[in-house]
Chains A and B, each alone.
Chain A
Amino acid sequence: MSNNEKLSYFLNKAKKLGSNNFNNKIRVAVLSSFTINGLEESLRVKLYEKKVDCTTYVGGYNQFNQEILDSSSKLYKFSPDITFLILDTRSILGKLFYQPYSVSSSERKKIFDEKFEDLKNLIHSFTNQTQSKLIVTNFNIPSYSPYGIFETKVVDGFHNSIKKLNENLTNEFLKNDSVYIFDFNSFVNQYGEKNIFDTKQFLFGDIKISLDYISNLADEFTGYVFAVLGLTKRCIVLDLDNTLWGGIVGEDGYDGIKLGADPQGNSFIEFQKYLLSLNQRGILLAINSKNNPDDALDVITNHPDMILRKEHFACMKINWNDKVSNMIDIAKELNFGLDYLVYFDDDPVNRDFMRSSLPDVFTVELSNDPSQYTTIIKNMKEFNSLKITDEDAKRGQMYAQQKNRQEFERSVTNLDEFLKNLKLKVIIKDADKFSIPRISQLTLKTNQFNLTTKRYQEEDIKNFVEDKNIEIGYAQVEDKFGDNGITSVFILNKRNPKEWHLDTFLLSCRIMGRQIEKCIMQHIISKAKDNGVTTIKANYLPTKKNKPIEDFLPDCGFQKNEDGWIIDVNNKFKSPDFIEVIDE
Chain B
Amino acid sequence: MSKRVYSIISKVMDIPISEINDESSPETIESWDSFNSYVLLDELETEFKTEFSIDEVVETKNVADIKKYLKKHGIELND
Contacts and interface: CB of A to CB of B under 8 A. Distances in A.
Contacts of B11: 8-9, 12
A148 interface: no
Contacts, number: 44
A12 B42 contact: no
Interface in A145-182: none
A44 to B, nearest CB: 16
B57 interface: yes
A139 to B, nearest CB: 24
Most chain A CB within a 10 A radius of its CB, from B35, B52, B57 = B35
A200 B53 CA distance: 8
A15 interface: yes
Contacts of A37: 35
A15 B11 CA distance: 13
A7 B57 contact: no
B39 A212 contact: no
Interface residues of B, number: 15
Nearest to B42: A211
B65 interface: no
Interface stretch (A202-210, A496-504, A511-519): A202-210
B34 A205 contact: yes
A422 interface: no
A8 B43 contact: yes
Interface in B7-57: 11-12, 14, 34-36, 38-40, 42-43, 46, 52, 54, 57
A201 B14 contact: no
B39 A204 contact: no
A11 interface: yes
A203 B54 CA distance: 9
Contacts of A205: 34-35, 38
B14 A7 contact: no
B14 A200 contact: no
A6 interface: yes
Interface string A93-108: 0000000000000000
Nearest to B43: A6
B54 A201 contact: no
B54 A211 contact: no
Contact of B14 (A15, A38, A210, A211): A15
B58 to A, nearest CB: 9
A11 B35 CA distance: 11
Given A8-B39, A8-B40, 12 more contacts: A6-B39, A8-B36, A11-B39, A15-B14, A200-B52, A201-B42, A204-B38, A205-B34, A205-B35, A210-B42, A211-B38, A212-B42
23 contacts: A6-B43, A6-B46, A7-B39, A7-B42, A7-B43, A8-B14, A8-B36, A8-B39, A8-B43, A9-B11, A11-B14, A11-B39, A12-B12, A12-B14, A15-B14, A37-B35, A38-B35, A200-B54, A201-B42, A203-B54, A205-B35, A211-B38, A211-B39
